[in-house]
């Protein structure tokens, strides 16, 4: 059988953030498949998290490099499919809509757009025609049923696919059982915020909830892992910790990936993800926490309510306030058996719904 040719145009690490990491995973799936031949073009030219969403000359140069690469690969490689992960707001939207326009001009085959960020109502009104032209005559993948409404105005139902994110299971059952035993024996209570240190992701609300926990004399450690979005945010974090005398409870560990990140996940008891990020879709970190058997306390936006089973694998926040976060933390701090049970249930849910094996076949099937 003749291999399908796929031109893969997406953000890729570095920097390390959800969309880029998920795209890297999808690229690896295709590269390891015997049924397809793939060529990739890296669409992002940000050097770190501080560059994302900002204009600079290297990005302008990168735009023309990508345009040139698209033309070259479509004419020489002659792909059956062009797969692209588009930005849905700001300068990224303008850039990617032009890429899609170029692709449609050169390519008569199928185009798949994998939408990994929200399309807000405000942006929908502001950029309706741009979205309409970009999504026209394409097949579109969204990360959850609740996200269909983002693209329903632009994409016919028969051209829509729902494919929740997945990750490779990196924790054996033996390792998982050992982690649960160590958590059961431990007298420490470790909270974790793991995301890019963008204020909209909720790290400041976690700090405010820590003030409440301290005022109640609840013993805890809270670890923050991620790359700073701005120097101003970093200063705000450090000043808040000093002002409220949280030094004994708060530790900022910086950006961690791979084994270092996994070690922190294994040593933590609860993941906190009170995100207010307006483009939030899935929350990859939630699935990572479930892999390690951690209960998750998260805001109930986007597709997050379809991932967390409220009061079974964690808590879904209604108000997403520091008081509500602290209240749920207190419940799990006082009841170790409950948090261990929630963690085990979360692990089961991860293996059933968000482990990479099943995702691979579903993803490759999209190109058949």
Q: What would the DSSP string read from start to end of 140-153?
A: EEESSGGGHHHHTT
Q: How confident is the model at residue 261 (pLDDT cuts 50, 70, 90)?
A: very high
* Tokens read off for 321: 């306030």
Please, where are the H alpha helices in 113-172? 121-126, 128-135, 148-151
- Residues 303 and 342 occupy one common structural domain: yes
Among 163, 197, 221, which residue terminates a domain? 163
Give me the pLDDT at residue 2, please.
Answer: 85
CA–CA dist 144, 166 (Å, integer): 12
Contacts of 360 (CB under 8 A, 6+ apart): 29
* pLDDT confidence band for 45 (50 / 70 / 90): confident
pLDDT at residue 193, rounded to an integer: 98
Query: What sign for the dihedral angle of Cα 290, 291, 293, 294?
Result: negative
Dihedral sign for Cα 121, 126, 127, 129, please: positive
Q: What is the DSSP letter of 108?
A: -
For the segment 251-267, the average pLDDT, to the nearest whole number, is 96
159 lies in the same domain as 181: no
Q: Are residues 193 and 133 in the same domain?
A: no
Which phi and psi (to 5°) does residue 349 adopt? -65, -40
Instruction: Give the per-residue pLDDT at 54.
Output: 64
Please indicate, yes or no, whether residues 190 and 289 belong to a single structural domain of this protein.
Answer: yes
Residues 149 and 177 in one domain: no
Domain CATH for 75 = 3.40.50.11930
| pLDDT confidence tier of residue 51, bands split at 50, 70 and 90 | low
Element spanning 316, H or E:
strand 314-317
Q: Is residue 362 in a domain?
A: no
Strands 36-42 and 81-84: what pairing?
unpaired
Report pLDDT digits (tens) over 244-255: 999 999 999 999
Instruction: Give yes or no for residue 218 having a pLDDT over 70.
Output: yes
Same domain, 205 and 287: yes
Give the pLDDT band of residue 48 (cuts 50, 70, 90). Answer: low
| Domain, as residue range, for 143 | 4-163
- Domain harbouring 216, CATH code: 3.40.50.2000
- Identify whether 244 is part of a domain: yes
Pair 158, 202 in one domain: no
Same domain, 253 and 337: yes
Please state, for a pLDDT cut of 70, what percent of the chain lies above it: 97
Give the separation between CA 134 and CA 63, rounded to whole angstroms: 17
Residue 363: inside a domain, yes or no? no
Q: Is 129 exposed, middle or buried (0-12, 13-18, 19+ CB in 10 A)?
A: exposed
- Mean pLDDT in residue range 158-164: 96
Q: Which two tokens stand for residue 208?
A: 């405010």
Number of domains in the chain: 2
Q: Is residue 40 part of a domain?
A: yes
220 in the same domain as 180: yes
End-of-domain residue from the set 163, 190, 209 = 163
What confidence tens digit (pLDDT) does each residue in 328-360 have?
A: 999 999 999 999 999 999 999 999 999 999 999
CA distances from 239 to 102, 112, 223, 232, 236 (A): 48, 46, 16, 11, 5
CA angle 59, 60, 62 (to 5 degrees): 60
What does the pLDDT look like over 76-134, one tens digit per residue?
Answer: 999 999 999 999 999 999 999 999 999 999 999 999 999 999 999 999 999 999 999 99
Residue 156: Cβ within 10 Å count: 11
CA-to-CA distance for 61 and 41, rounded, in angstroms?
15
pLDDT at 55: 64
* Last-in-domain residue among 137, 163, 189: 163
- CA–CA distance from 68 to each of 96, 108, 278 (Å)? 14, 18, 32
Say if residue 50's pLDDT is above 80.
no
Whether residues 321 and 289 share a domain: the answer is yes
Q: Residue 15: what pLDDT?
A: 86
Q: Would residue 193 count as lying in a domain?
A: yes
Q: pLDDT by residue (tens digit) across 279-331? A: 999 999 999 999 999 999 999 999 999 999 999 999 999 999 999 999 999 99
In a domain, 46, yes or no: yes
Is 140 a domain residue? yes
String of DSSP letters for 77-106: T--SEEEE----SHHHHHHHHHHHHHHHHH
| Mean pLDDT calculated for residue range 248-277 | 97
- Asked if residue 269 lies in contact with residue 183, where contact means CB atoms within 8 angstroms, the answer is yes
Q: For residue 283, tell me if it sits in a domain.
A: yes
Mean predicted lDDT score pLDDT of the chain: 95
Calculate the CA 115 to chain-centre distance.
12
Indicate whether 319 and 208 sit together in one domain: yes
CB-based contacts of 308, cutoff 8 Å, min separation 6: 286, 296, 298, 314, 315, 316
pTM for this structure? 0.92
Residue 106: Cβ within 10 Å count:
12
124 and 20 assigned to the same domain: yes
């Amino acid at each position: 059988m003749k291999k399908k040719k796929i031109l893969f145009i997406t953000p890729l690490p570095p920097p390390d953030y959800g969309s880029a990491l998920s795209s890297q995973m999808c690229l690896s799936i295709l590269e390891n498949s015997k049924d397809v031949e793939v060529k990739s073009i890296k669409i992002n030219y940000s050097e770190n998290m501080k560059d994302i969403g900002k204009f600079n000359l290297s990005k302008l140069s990168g735009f023309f490099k990508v345009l040139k690469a698209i033309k070259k690969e479509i004419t020489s490689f002659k792909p059956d499919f062009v797969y692209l992960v588009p930005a849905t707001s700001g300068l990224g939207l303008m850039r990617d809509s032009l890429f899609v326009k170029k692709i449609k001009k050169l390519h008569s085959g199928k185009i798949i757009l994998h939408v990994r960020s929200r399309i807000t109502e405000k942006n929908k009104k502001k950029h309706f025609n741009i979205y309409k032209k970009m999504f026209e005559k394409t097949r579109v993948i969204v990360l959850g049923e609740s996200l269909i409404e983002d693209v329903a105005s632009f994409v016919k139902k028969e051209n829509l696919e729902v494919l929740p994110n997945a990750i490779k299971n990196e924790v054996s059952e033996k390792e998982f059982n050992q982690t649960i035993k160590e958590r059961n024996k431990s007298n420490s209570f470790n909270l974790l915020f793991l995301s890019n240190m963008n204020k909209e992701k909720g790290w400041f609300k976690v700090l405010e909830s820590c003030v409440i926990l301290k005022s109640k004399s609840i013993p805890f450690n809270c670890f923050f892992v991620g790359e700073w979005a701005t120097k101003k945010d970093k200063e705000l974090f450090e000043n808040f910790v000093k002002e409220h005398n949280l030094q004994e409870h708060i530790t900022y560990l910086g950006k961690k990936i791979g084994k270092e990140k996994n070690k922190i996940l294994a040593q933590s008891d609860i993941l906190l993800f009170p995100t207010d990020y307006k483009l939030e879709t899935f929350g990859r970190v939630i699935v990572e926490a479930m892999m390690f058997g951690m209960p998750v306390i998260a805001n109930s936006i986007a597709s997050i309510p379809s991932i967390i089973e409220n009061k079974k694998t964690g808590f879904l926040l209604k108000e997403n306030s520091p008081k509500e976060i602290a209240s749920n933390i207190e419940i799990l701090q006082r009841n170790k058996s409950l948090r261990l049970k929630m963690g085990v249930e979360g692990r089961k849910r991860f293996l059933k719904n968000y482990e990479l094996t099943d995702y691979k076949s579903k993803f490759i099937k999209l190109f058949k």
